[in-house]
A = this chain, B = another copy of it.
């Protein structure tokens, strides 16, 4: 079965200390010895146990990533860049989908701690703050992605949600829309997007009303349902700002089934600029998050925190970018 350091030592005729040294490329020794050990490692197909070494104080070289749902394209896309960057740095990542469920979050966070992950990236939004605080107290580097720091005093990386909401809404307003609904998520980030939505209206001296603000959880089905709710409320708005692409797609699909023409009868702006935004017809006008940059950055940050703890914490906001495609147009009079 799996050879251990002892097997290698015996086969190479040296002590385990020597083997350990060649594994870690530390210490000094005769070149011939090093070669001999390397050879026998290869011959035995020896693979040092990361668990054993982690137990002696070294890291586990694994990162934990908490997302709401890995099957949501936004998260799978960002997970991919996180994974790539992590591997470039010799780390792998355990992905957990919380389904925006506080119990699951708790369970997964504890699990990740028991697995001794070297750091945790939290891109999931429902929080049991106490749990996360525990993590921080226990000195496990933790950074928030797509989220504010929830009062934890950790660094957070996200897009400028306020600005994104502002730009999405301003675009609609500039096209003449005066009756704009917003479908947000429950997450904090959505709150900022709502504020941006409000700000854009206010700036133009436009009224807003609670009636135009809807909330749901990200999924195509929920997007459809939201549109149904909006329509039930009475007058159909001319524009909808959906706080993510998944919801926007749902709105598009439902609108079509209702016989609403897009963008003639209804303009839609999404958020995220995932792969979905390019596959709808018309293409989805949306607010792009710099997914790759954010993913890379978050692992850079967490790795530097792992290397030398107590880095200064920051709140990093990336610039959102309005991508105009076909789901928005000048409002019909």
Contact = CB atoms under 8 A, between A and B. Distances in A.
Nearest to A249: B279
Contacts of A113: 47
A255 interface: no
A79 B70 contact: yes
Contacts of A116: 49-51
Interface stretch (A88-96, A157-165, A168-176, A229-237): A88-96
Interface in A85-123: 87, 92-97, 104, 107-108, 110-116
Given A92-B111, A139-B1, A253-B278, A83 B70 contact: yes
A60 interface: yes
A300 interface: no
Given A83-B95, A92-B111, 8 more contacts: A45-B134, A51-B116, A73-B76, A87-B104, A92-B108, A95-B95, A220-B275, A220-B278
Interface of A: 1-2, 45, 47-52, 54-55, 60, 62, 69-71, 73, 76-77, 79-80, 83-84, 87, 92-97, 104, 107-108, 110-116, 134, 138-139, 220, 249, 253, 275-276, 278-281
7 contacts: A2-B138, A49-B55, A62-B94, A84-B97, A87-B107, A92-B108, A276-B276
